[in-house]
């Protein structure tokens, strides 16, 4: 699976190491050394994947992700950072990063993360991707990456959308936090279950009439979360 990859990294030695590993797997690689150059490179020719360092001159990686998602660009983003606090990691995911690795890391694990992201974003459409998902007044369209509630459009980050699409594909089924984490990342040693809780909290603000008293996205205590049709629940 050969891909066009942009590596945004201001440490030249580190960037060259990542380049060698990516090219060894058959990918073409463009290297840029700061955040503004990363934005210019993506706008010139959007890649299949952006490997993005957080701490960079001119514009940091978080700002780059914020701008790309504001421009409605859906390219997958793998962020690299020396920051290890949970809040920093969650911020990157909330802004729209697809995966996050903390330094130092093994190049072999980095390549495994790259393969996972490329498989997820390039795999042929399956059952979930082929069908609009409806749970009462909530509609999730995976192909168009659109969500509406009672006809009103709802803006979701990539992480929020993945969780919502997974839940909508199995209405009334209870999903554990670990299962939803797998939907987000496939695997991740650095992010806690709180990642899912933050996405769910943000989703409730967007899809619930009263976020503190949810009727759609429900907590099943000690197990996880489920998505349900409130009208059906009222009739039961």
pLDDT at position 188: 44
Counted residue by residue, the chain has a size of 236
The rounded distance, in Å, linking the Cα atoms of 231 and 96 is 32
Percentage of the chain surpassing pLDDT 90?
Answer: 31
pLDDT at position 180: 83
pLDDT, tens digit, 9 for 90 and up, residues 94-117? 777 888 888 878 888 889 888 888
pLDDT at position 216: 94
pLDDT, tens digit, 9 for 90 and up, residues 123-144? 444 434 446 888 989 999 887 8
Tell me the two tokens of residue 73. 């660009």
Pick the residue with more confidence: 30 or 193?
A: 30
Tell me the two tokens of residue 159. 């992480």
In 136-235 the beta strands, taken as DSSP E runs, fall at 138-141, 146-149, 152-154, 175-176, 217-220, 224-227
pLDDT at position 88: 62
pLDDT, tens digit, 9 for 90 and up, residues 25-48? 889 999 999 999 999 999 988 899
pLDDT, tens digit, 9 for 90 and up, residues 66-86? 898 888 888 899 988 876 556
Percentage of the chain surpassing pLDDT 70?
Answer: 86
0.75 exceeded by pTM:
no
Local structure of 41: helix, strand or coil:
helix
The rounded distance, in Å, linking the Cα atoms of 210 and 106 is 44
Is the confidence at residue 208, as pLDDT, over 50? yes
Selection from 57, 56, 49, 89 nearest residue 73 by Cα: 49
Is the confidence at residue 167, as pLDDT, over 70? yes
Mean pLDDT check: name the lowest of 22-31, 179-188, 193-202, 225-234: 179-188
pLDDT at position 190: 46
């Amino acid at each position: 699976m050969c891909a066009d990859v942009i590596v945004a990294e201001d440490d030249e030695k580190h960037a060259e190491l990542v380049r060698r590993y990516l090219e060894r797997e058959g990918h073409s690689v463009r290297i840029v050394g700061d955040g503004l150059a990363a934005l210019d490179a993506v706008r010139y020719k959007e890649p299949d994947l952006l490997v993005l360092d957080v701490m960079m001159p001119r514009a940091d990686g978080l700002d780059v992700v914020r701008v790309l998602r504001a421009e409605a660009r859906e390219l997958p983003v793998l962020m690299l950072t020396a920051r290890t606090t949970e809040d920093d990691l969650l911020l990157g995911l909330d802004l729209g990063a697809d995966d996050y690795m903390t330094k130092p890391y093994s190049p072999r694990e980095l390549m495994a993360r790259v393969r996972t992201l490329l498989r997820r974003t390039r795999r042929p459409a399956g059952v979930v991707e082929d069908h609009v998902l409806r749970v009462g007044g909530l509609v999730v369209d995976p192909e168009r990456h659109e969500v509406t509630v009672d006809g009103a459009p709802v803006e979701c980050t990539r992480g929020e959308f993945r969780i919502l699409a997974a839940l909508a594909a199995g209405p009334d089924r209870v999903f554990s936090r670990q299962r939803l984490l797998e939907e987000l990342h496939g695997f991740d040693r650095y992010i806690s279950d709180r990642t899912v809780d933050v996405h769910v909290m943000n989703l409730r603000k967007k899809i619930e009439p009263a976020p503190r008293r949810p009727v759609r996205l429900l907590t099943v205590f000690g197990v996880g979360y489920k998505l349900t049709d409130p009208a059906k629940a009222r009739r039961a």
